[in-house]
A and B are shown apart, each in its own frame.
Chain A
């Protein structure tokens, strides 16, 4: 019986019977007896399973459960199987050895005292009723409680095979949109079989929605922006507008990179983040637009007007995190996304001379123009770091020496921006490398060894590593790079001994308001492998009267302070930290976009993105209180 392939698993074998007999103390069971028993037990088991099906159906389930079997046993006047109560199926383990194969259920030995001393398990949530409209007069509203009008699979199918959409123009199942007359007519006159073009028509409502959303996303009103992003991240049924959204983002990035409009770039990246978070969208189709945009925001040479002033580092960090999220979500063996992205960043880190010479020429021998800008290096390092410690080990660690030379060169140089960049790069490198090095090297950390192995950055790295080793929290973190999220003292205004202080002092008089916006991830981030780490943002600015604004919304906290503040954000949607005289923040935020009217006044509006912005920038007053927007992702 057991040897036939078909019967395997559907009937008990003689061996099983013998094993079972042994387990109850019958050492020698004859083959005939075993066969009789096996047949009979198989039959009875099947009858029980068939009866259990009835209980499953009446429990309105489609999956057989252990209780169904129990009930089936009960109606057959048998005792239930005690001790197998489990909501899901019990894992069935397999072991083989000594020519015998065995399937069994693992029974762990449980220490009773451990259970008794353990805190009681959480009380399960009580059942509650919640009502929503599934349909209003025959039309299904696209609210989050309803499924998206076009499922992800259908969107995928459509992208792979656009014809499939044409074949069924009047899809009854989808939410009722009236079939437009043109398509109906085309369908009617089928004399010549012409391959139809897939039309992407947006209804008036959708056009309106698109306009509202895009304006809100790049506009000046922070609360509206939050609402718009929330809508992008949660609403089902955006798939029809998705191509336009993606084009909006990629065009916007192109234009604003050229114009070094940092604020808008940040807004656009937050849009990308929102789209990524939306569970109902099939984004694969549009990655070719999104990835270049995101990577531009990571490694671009210049992202803001005044590199020595503006915090473009935050944008790079944020975009790098986005890129990591994209890689994690969409990487498949066919598109090799992660490999390609890694290669992109690694190329930016490539020491131009590494191919020629092992030791590398001195910095002087390289022409200034050949050098990858420090900002790009920073971006590349950050991008790689987000991809995980393994990537750091392979791609950053071997280049530490060269990177150190660059940092050293820039720090000793004269350019203020360069020095700031070098400082940041150094800090970032230490932060990224320390956990990895800690894993790689054994405890006696000698500064000389580090100096020998890692060049200029060696001693600082050694300090960082030994600091990590001594701190207890990191010993549990186990080398996860992402855990270290203490934002470096990026703010040029921070009264710290960072080199940026010099450049800062020159501009202090103009600085009146500072905005720090931290957007924490929306609740449904697709793959939160680790709980979002706590974030500490240290904010400091000049000595102005302190004021605490009341929080503006349920999810938003606005902290207004002139003292260095630590904001701890975990379950808050966004934290806005401002300093200086508070009210009228919104009006001042407008000015960001009005900073460079002189560049654009003569120009025709280049893109949709810029349109509302320029209109305001041209007409409005232009006091230059600068705004520093830095967005973080938990």
Chain B
């Protein structure tokens, strides 16, 4: 109200100045402005004039082009020190000028303005401009996704102190045209930071978000990115027969510790960045889960150390005859099961080992089983039916994600039909349908500790659920566009989301608040992966670009050279955290040296080394035979499993 009435107030003041009493009364009546406000309108002369002239110039289409051209020239001619920071202003100014022209019904001018200056904008904005260019009427601004984002939010631009004073001086000089001043006042948030102006590379590193860079204050909160202290699980000295009970003695594992590989035991001890173990209530481990964990640790001790000199072997699972129908896949943690979600609402689960998939016995038969028997878990399974593949029917739309729980007893899936479903891998039926999202659900992920899961969807929200609640525990709101992917932090305390607004955000599960917002991606983010240590997060986008972020600062740690030519839909870290693998629709799998990526980022002074360090990141690239890569998974022994669908050229 107050913003809108400012011009009105200005007019009132003008009327009073010329002592046009009756007109003033009529206006006051018509605008239903109370008497209270008449005292507050003590505007300085200059501002009064500018407001009144603004009204005139804003509707004059020719001034826009001139004003934009002037601003461009000013930025081009300014010192290199300020130039690149200032140039980030151009895009929001341009967009709002276009929208204003549309708003004032100068459609032809708007179109020619877009044609003239649109191509000059940064390449990563071109996609947005294409979307914006379809808006050709003021009624269309309301209701258009992108135009609404721009008109209802402020674009954030970071300028150094000097650059902002330069800008101020320039704007002061432009007395005759207040278009830019108004846009900057209304739609652009300028955040001034101390320190020198940033270089072109620095500016480019964080540019790209729909609404510019994040405010510095948004990334101040401390993030406990360390790993939780693992509950001690006794590692069996030798692989005894599998069905045998593991002697659980959680109280006295200390003496065993010395025997264990120090690799697995040193980290949980005293990580200053780790959250307290009870920050988020985690479920107690069940007996069977402990067996599973023990198995995992045993497997891990046989892990192959990876590095630039010892690359992992890749086993590629090709889904034949699936064409475009298979759209999501997941491999369970111990690499024995493969689940694939299809376009036709079906979910298929394959076993990757000779162990067949078995269903549970019927209820009557289960009653006959002696519950005290040691092998009750084996006995309750049906002996007869043994399949290598089982179907799960229930969804009524494409299944966009399937996810095994850490203990491979359950499976989550999300679909276009707006639901998330929980399936039992013992009964092979659907257990729960979680409704809450109103629009298609793009992604769903388990917490690494089970019990919790998170989903994200077209409704621009991400939600945190617990399997025993039919309503979400937390709803994370803040993204400006679809939340395309979601990922749990290894310590289950945080959730990362990637969105079509080209930001990656980190949310605290405890408070539900946003603790990090990271910009710099140049395209929609389709996949996220936390590093094993929990400090880094890697993201892959639709343009084939990948970035690695540092959660401690919220800044980009590295922008990997654009190696993929098609959207990246799969990222996976090796179990020892040294190799990052990426799989893309361009039918390649690439391996990246993650130690090099994180090692070199703090050391910036080696500027004159002949090889750009980006070149050293890429270790190897493997092409598949026309099979887009849709899933990647490292086994506990560091063998890379990849899943793709064979798409014949016909």
Contact = CB atoms under 8 A, between A and B. Distances in A.
B56 interface: no
A340 interface: no
Interface string B604-633: 000000000000001111111110101000
Contacts of B342: 127
A61 interface: yes
A124 B321 contact: yes
Contact of A128 (B136, B321, B484, B624): B321
A62 B320 contact: no
A43 B140 contact: yes
Contacts of A138: 310-313, 619-620
B134 interface: yes
B226 interface: no
Nearest to B570: A60
B638 to A, nearest CB: 12
A275 to B, nearest CB: 20
A125 B622 CA distance: 28
B524 interface: yes
A189 to B, nearest CB: 16
A60 B569 contact: yes
Interface in A504-548: none
A172 B131 CA distance: 38
B342 to A, nearest CB: 8
A241 to B, nearest CB: 21
A147 B340 CA distance: 24
A57 B566 CA distance: 11
Nearest to A175: B622
B441 to A, nearest CB: 10
B313 A58 contact: no
Interface in A394-421: none
B134 A129 contact: no
Interface in B550-600: 566-567, 569, 585, 589
Nearest to A68: B398
Interface string A64-87: 010100010001000000000001
B315 A131 contact: yes
Given A75-B439, A75-B458, A43 B322 contact: no
A502 interface: no
Given A146-B624, A172-B618, A59 B324 contact: yes
B400 interface: yes
A176 B318 CA distance: 23
Contact of B136 (A43, A58, A59, A133): A43
A57 B567 contact: yes
Contact of A47 (B134, B397, B622, B624): B134
Interface string A133-152: 11111101000011100000
A129 B317 contact: yes
B326 interface: yes
A134 B314 CA distance: 5
Contacts of B136: 39, 43
Interface residues of B, number: 65
B316 A50 contact: no
Contacts of B500: 54
B313 A146 contact: no
Interface string A348-386: 000000000000000000000000000000000000000
Contacts of A137: 310-311, 313
A43 B326 CA distance: 32
A71 B417 CA distance: 10
The listed residue with most B CB atoms (<10 A of its CB), out of A133, A146, A147, is A147
B34 to A, nearest CB: 41
A55 interface: yes
Contacts of B628: 60
B642 A127 contact: no
Given A65-B324, A71-B397, A145-B318, A57 B140 contact: no
A43 B137 contact: yes
Contacts of A182: none
B482 interface: yes
Contacts, number: 141
B321 A127 contact: yes
Contacts of A147: 623-626
A129 B319 contact: yes
B140 A133 contact: no
A137 B342 CA distance: 32
A132 B316 contact: yes
A111 interface: no
A46 interface: yes
A107 interface: no
Given A137-B310, A147-B624, A129 B338 contact: yes
Contacts of A176: 620
A132 B622 contact: no
A50 to B, nearest CB: 6
B416 interface: yes
A51 B166 CA distance: 41
A130 interface: yes
Q: Most chain-A Cβ atoms within 10 A of its Cβ — which of B137, B316, B618? A: B316
A135 B621 contact: no
A126 interface: yes
A134 B482 contact: no
B634 to A, nearest CB: 13
A39 B313 contact: no
Contact of A172 (B320, B482, B621, B626): B621
A42 B311 CA distance: 52
B321 A125 contact: yes
B318 A132 contact: yes
B564 to A, nearest CB: 12
B316 A59 contact: no
A134 B440 CA distance: 34
B140 A58 contact: no
A506 to B, nearest CB: 56
A33 to B, nearest CB: 15
A364 B453 CA distance: 98
A137 B169 CA distance: 62
A3 interface: no
A124 B484 CA distance: 32
Interface in B420-462: 439-440, 442, 458
B319 A173 contact: no
B144 to A, nearest CB: 7
B445 to A, nearest CB: 15
A129 B569 contact: no
A104 B352 CA distance: 48
Contact of A134 (B316, B325, B585): B316
Interface in B64-104: none
A67 B400 contact: no
B635 interface: no
Contacts of B524: 57
Interface in B512-550: 524, 526, 542
Contacts of B321: 124-128
Contact of B326 (A87, A127, A132, A136): A127
B302 to A, nearest CB: 16
A74 to B, nearest CB: 8
Task: Give the interface centre of B135, B312, B623 by most chain A CB atoms within 10 Å.
Answer: B623
Contacts of B323: 87
Contacts of A128: 319-321
A59 B398 CA distance: 8
Interface centre among A130, A135, A136, A173 (most CB of B within 10 A): A135
A173 B623 contact: yes
A130 B317 contact: yes
Contacts of B310: 137-138
A172 B620 contact: yes
Given A39-B137, A47-B134, A135-B640, 8 more contacts: A71-B416, A125-B320, A127-B319, A127-B322, A127-B325, A129-B320, A130-B317, A135-B311
12 contacts: A47-B144, A58-B327, A58-B400, A63-B324, A75-B439, A87-B324, A127-B348, A132-B318, A134-B316, A135-B312, A135-B313, A146-B623
The 6 nearest A-B residue pairs measured at CB = A138-B311, A134-B316, A134-B314, A135-B314, A125-B321, A46-B134
